[in-house]
Amino acid sequence: MTKLHSSLGPNPRLVRMFAVEKGLEEGKDFERVHYDIITGENRQNASYLEKNPLGTIPTLELDDGTCLTESWPICEFIEETHPEPNMFGETPAERAEVRKWARLFDQEVVVPMTMGFRAGAGRPMFAPRMPVLSEEAGAEIAAMSDEKWRWFDQALGGSNHFALGRFTFADLIVFCFANFGFTVGWKLPEGTDNLARFVDTHNQRPSAAIWQQGE
């Protein structure tokens, strides 16, 4: 059976939510293999490092042993192998629109937000395993990320969807990183009422229950 190598954190949860949105069931369509990323098991387990030399989670291991890494491409693989319901767009132009929002968010929010977290509250966990910014630089980059959250709030306006007027991968990635923030004591920056509404709305999705579960 296909294996999803998974853990705490926004990236595996993004893939797990995507799988639920696709109607895929754990135990039936794939098996979930858990790693303790707090202790760094993912970077010490030789057999996992063979599957993903970066040691990061998630990895999707197919029946033939092929290992797919990086959460977004894993979601695109699932989209191609399970096209319904559509999450990336029906046409080339729609897909470009969904990927535009996801790419903007990935670069402008996810990168600075995670770098800020690793340099701040996440320092005890991450400093022994990778280079992290100084605390001062971490606070600066976290503030840059918050500024971009505000930009996304304005772009969202009165809608609950970033692209295509329906729930897509673009909404999913924003939702997952907001929820990641909440799990580590972050709050939506002031003046992001549109995003607060967006999060409340998508919290009602059955797939969002993953955020209420321990690992």
Ligand X SMILES: N[C@@H](CCC(=O)N[C@@H](CS)C(=O)NCC(=O)O)C(=O)O
Nearest residue to ligand X, scored by beta-carbon proximity: 9
Nearest distance in Å: CB 34, ligand X? 12
Find tokens 């990778």 and name the residue.
Answer: 130
Nearest distance in Å: CB 68, ligand X? 10
Which residue lies nearer to ligand X by CB, 3 or 197? 3
Which residue lies nearer to ligand X by CB, 126 or 162? 126
Nearest distance in Å: CB 110, ligand X? 8
Task: At 179, list the tokens.
Answer: 């929820």
Amino acid (1-letter code) at residue 79: E
- Pairing outcome for strands 31-34 and 59-61: unpaired
Which residue lies nearer to ligand X by CB, 104 or 160? 104
Under the rule (CB under 6 A), what is the footprint of ligand X? Answer: 7, 9-12, 37, 40, 42-43, 55-58, 70-72, 129
DSSP state of 201: H
- How far apart CA 106 and CA 209 sit, in angstroms, is 23
Which residue lies nearer to ligand X by CB, 24 or 125? 125
DSSP state of 191: T
Spatial CB neighbours of 44, under 8 Å, sequence gap ≥ 6: none
Nearest distance in Å: CB 177, ligand X? 10
Which residue lies nearer to ligand X by CB, 10 or 120? 10
Nearest distance in Å: CB 14, ligand X? 8
Which of 105, 114, 98 shows the shortest CA–CA distance to 9?
Answer: 114
Task: At 68, list the tokens.
Answer: 């797919």
- How far apart CA 201 and CA 165 sit, in angstroms, is 14
